[in-house]
């Protein structure tokens, strides 16, 4: 999950186009960070722009006029509901661990866990052709509102891949550290900052999981919070967030804008990476302007794991602010692709991750998967739009 374009909003840092490895909080965070939002933090903050000031979830009882029927959601019928259902089912294991009377979301906006237990049980009896009917039967949509208007701002993140080796040697000189034994409680006092760690003060305090061949790639891996390590023998290992050093995330996209190196409208993962490559004598100092540092752990499984503890689904998992949107809740997003002509991007996604830069009820960070295409969308996405929460349907609702 990172924020390239708007002020980094969290301690965890996940921002879309540029990613801000700040996603992780003190708790587990295996997903990649929202690249754009985190790196740049230069674009207007969706929570302060006139179009979506401090978005807050509308309470069903208070905002009936703003609650649409499913057929009122443009693009709803054309979506691939089977893909959304498959992603949703991954969250059912997490719901199963909650006591039935646990209220979900602010003021219980998403009902109680017991309702989700029943919904999950019903989902197991549905095949792909019945996916749309499943969502329309078991849920009711509620728009996320800000000052009486639909609100939403979306960035993206992806799973980066870096080159590495298990032993130091040759071009493999950049350490990827595991959790230090003396990390302690970051709430009491932050650990060593990025500059101190990278200039050799670790002194064996943390295990080295892998040695990477590129400091810039390593930095972006930190921004994303998780990723793949491609070993020289052809094998691929995965790493995820284990802990951080407790320092505030500083988006280097904003640093470059403040120095006049980039224009705010130019900031993206790609433009930041290009500047660092073109200015090797300044790259380390600029990256160290972000004191936040991520420590990793080895991750097994089919893909990156989000804060909800489930594997993320490319194009169907969303990082949200858990203070407003509970993990596992389906969210309909209505926004645009970051492409010429801004074609519509409307689909059902599932809240399965969080991020430091993801703050506010209408904030979302779409996980795009791994590879060049995923990196492209994650690196450029900073789109206004609207979000609709799907909450359990109740009799008479």
- The dihedral built from the CA positions of residue 349, 354, 360 and 366, taken in this order, carries a sign that is negative
- CATH 2.40.240.50 in the chain, residue ranges: 35-47+156-299
Rounded to the nearest angstrom, the gap between the alpha carbon of residue 235 and the centroid of all alpha carbons in its chain is 26
**What are the pLDDT digits (tens) for 224-274?**
888 999 998 899 999 988 999 999 999 999 999 999 999 998 898 899 999
- CATH 2.40.40.10 in the chain, residue ranges: 70-153+305-370+377-392
pTM for the model stands at 0.75
Six-digit token pair at 54?
């401090």
Contact 101, 114 (CB under 8 A): yes
Please give the sequence-ordered ranges of beta strands (E in DSSP) within the chain, or none if there are none.
Answer: 56-57, 139-146, 149-150, 153-159, 161-165, 174-177, 208-212, 227-231, 236-244, 294-299, 317-319, 330-336, 344-353, 363-370, 382-384, 386-392
- Nearest Cα residue to 374 out of 80, 84, 86, 156: 156
Tally the C-alpha atoms within 13 A of residue 282's C-alpha that lie toward its C-beta. Answer: 13
CATH of domain 70-153+305-370+377-392: 2.40.40.10
Six-digit token pair at 7?
């002020």
Q: What per-residue confidence (pLDDT) applies to 49?
A: 30
Q: What per-residue confidence (pLDDT) applies to 372?
A: 86
**What are the pLDDT digits (tens) for 178-219?**
999 999 876 678 999 999 999 988 888 999 999 999 999 999
- pLDDT for 12 beyond 50: no
- pLDDT for 397 beyond 90: no
Give the integer Cα–Cα distance in Å for 138 and 57. Answer: 20
- Higher per-residue pLDDT: 67 or 334: 334
User: SS3 breakdown of the chain: % helix, strand, coil, rounded to 5?
Assistant: 25, 25, 50
- The dihedral built from the CA positions of residue 109, 114, 120 and 122, taken in this order, carries a sign that is negative
**What are the pLDDT digits (tens) for 96-107?**
999 999 999 888
For the chain, give the percent of residues with pLDDT over 70. Answer: 82
- Higher per-residue pLDDT: 276 or 50: 276
Q: What per-residue confidence (pLDDT) applies to 2?
A: 41
Average pLDDT of span 326-355: 96
- CA dist 178 to 93, 163, 205, 215, 370, Å? 28, 17, 9, 17, 22
**What are the pLDDT digits (tens) for 284-313?**
999 999 999 999 999 887 778 888 889 999
Please give the sequence-ordered ranges of beta strands (E in DSSP) within 268-362, or none if there are none.
Answer: 294-299, 317-319, 330-336, 344-353
CA dihedral angle for residue 8, residue 13, residue 14, residue 20, rounded to 10 degrees: 90
- Higher per-residue pLDDT: 32 or 119: 119
Which CATH number is 35-47+156-299's, of 2.40.110.20, 3.40.225.10, 2.40.240.50, 3.40.50.2300? 2.40.240.50
Average pLDDT of span 3-22: 33
């Amino acid at each position: 999950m990172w924020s390239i374009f708007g002020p980094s909003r969290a301690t965890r840092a996940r921002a879309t186009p540029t990613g801000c490895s700040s996603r992780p909080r003190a708790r587990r965070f295996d997903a990649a960070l929202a690249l754009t939002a985190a790196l740049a933090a230069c674009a207007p903050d969706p929570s302060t722009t006139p179009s979506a000031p401090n978005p807050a979830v509308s309470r069903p009882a208070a905002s009936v006029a703003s609650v649409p029927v499913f057929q009122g959601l443009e693009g709803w019928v054309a979506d691939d509901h089977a893909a959304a259902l498959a992603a949703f089912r991954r969250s059912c294991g997490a719901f199963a661990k909650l006591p039935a009377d646990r209220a979900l979301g602010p003021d219980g906006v998403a009902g109680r866990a017991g309702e989700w237990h029943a919904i999950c049980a019903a989902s197991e009896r549905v095949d792909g052709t019945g996916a749309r009917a499943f969502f329309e039967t078991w849920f009711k949509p509620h728009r996320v509102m800000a000052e009486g208007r639909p609100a939403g701002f979306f960035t993206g993140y992806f799973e980066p891949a870096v080159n590495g080796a298990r032993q130091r040697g040759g071009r493999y000189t950049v350490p990827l550290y595991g959790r230090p034994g003396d990390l302690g409680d970051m709430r009491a006092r932050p650990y060593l900052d990025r500059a101190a760690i990278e200039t050799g003060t670790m002194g064996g305090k943390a295990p080295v999981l892998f040695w990477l061949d590129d400091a810039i790639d390593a930095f972006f891996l930190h921004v994303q919070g998780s990723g793949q390590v491609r070993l020289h023998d052809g094998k691929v290992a995965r790493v995820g967030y284990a802990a951080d050093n407790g320092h505030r995330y500083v988006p280097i996209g904003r640093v470059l804008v403040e120095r006049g190196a980039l224009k705010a409208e130019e900031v993206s993962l790609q433009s930041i990476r290009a500047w660092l490559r073109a200015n090797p004598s300044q790259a380390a100092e600029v990256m160290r302007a972000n004191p936040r540092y991520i420590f990793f752990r080895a991750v097994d499984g089919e893909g990156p794991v989000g804060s909800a503890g489930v594997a993320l689904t490319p194009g169907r998992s969303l990082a949200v602010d858990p203070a407003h949107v509970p993990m596992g809740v389906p969210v309909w997003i209505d926004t645009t692709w970051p492409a010429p002509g801004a074609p519509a991007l409307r689909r059902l996604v599932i809240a399965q991750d969080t991020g430091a830069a993801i703050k506010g009820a209408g904030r979302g960070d779409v996980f795009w998967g791994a590879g060049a295409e995923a990196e492209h969308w994650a690196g450029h996405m900073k789109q206004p739009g609207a979000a609709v929460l799907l909450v359990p349907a109740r009799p008479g609702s």
